[in-house]
Amino acid sequence: MTIKKTELDGVFLITPNIIKDIRGHFFESFKSDSFSQSLIPTKFAQENQSLSKKGTLRGLHYQLNYPQGKLVSVSKGCVVDFAIDIRVGSSTFGKSLSFVLDDIKHESLYISEGFAHGFYVQSDEAVFNYKCTESYYPEDEYGINWNDFDLKLNLEDKKPLVSEKDQLLPKLKDVHKDLLPTFN
């Protein structure tokens, strides 16, 4: 597996070495030694999986008091995954990156604490996997509106399927700085 830093400090793209033969394929999706060498956490508190249909947008979420680093991947389908730096004081504050994650390349992302995260489903359906460094606390869930022009998300679909709760999320510029993580 290869692990590459991205333009956003704290976001890593993980590309597995896929071994294929007539039976199918095999790859390592997690290897503690490789992650530790790249300074990616290896202890996860919770693992989640979602099934979403085409056109669904989930996010952009973060936790403030119990921040989560997330190792994300797709085991079925194709999504565009978004990471947005919302760390007050970071030189890349407000910057976003998007990555295509699918069941062909089997790449994954590690998104550190201090980032808002979300994804958009491009395939008929997608099974999305998240390993989180902290448990989910509903009372600590915050978010940024996906439709915030300043984020410059690369999303061609102007009317994705978005939960009612996520439609009501504020734009980043409207979030009080006390409700955002700080850059260490």
Chain segment 104-150, per-residue pLDDT in tens = 999 999 999 999 999 999 999 999 999 999 999 999 999 999 999 99
d(CA 52, CA 181): 29
Given the residues 62, 110, 120, 130, select the one marked as catalytic. 130
Best CA proximity match to 120, nearest among 100, 141, 96: 100
Q: What is the pLDDT of residues 37-92, one digit of tens each?
A: 999 999 999 999 999 999 999 999 999 999 999 999 999 999 999 999 999 999 99
Best CA proximity match to 138, nearest among 52, 39, 84, 61: 61
25 part of the active site: no
**pLDDT at res. 117:** 98
What's the predicted TM-score (pTM) here? 0.94
Given the residues 61, 62, 106, 110, select the one marked as catalytic. 61
Q: What is the pLDDT of residues 139-181, one digit of tens each?
A: 999 999 999 999 989 888 889 999 999 999 999 999 988 888 8
**pLDDT at res. 158:** 86
**pLDDT at res. 156:** 83
106 part of the active site: no
Ramachandran assignment for 56, one of left (phi > 0), alpha (psi -120 to 50 degrees), beta (any other): beta
pLDDT of 184 > 80? The answer is no
| Helices and strands of the chain, counted as H and E runs | 2, 13
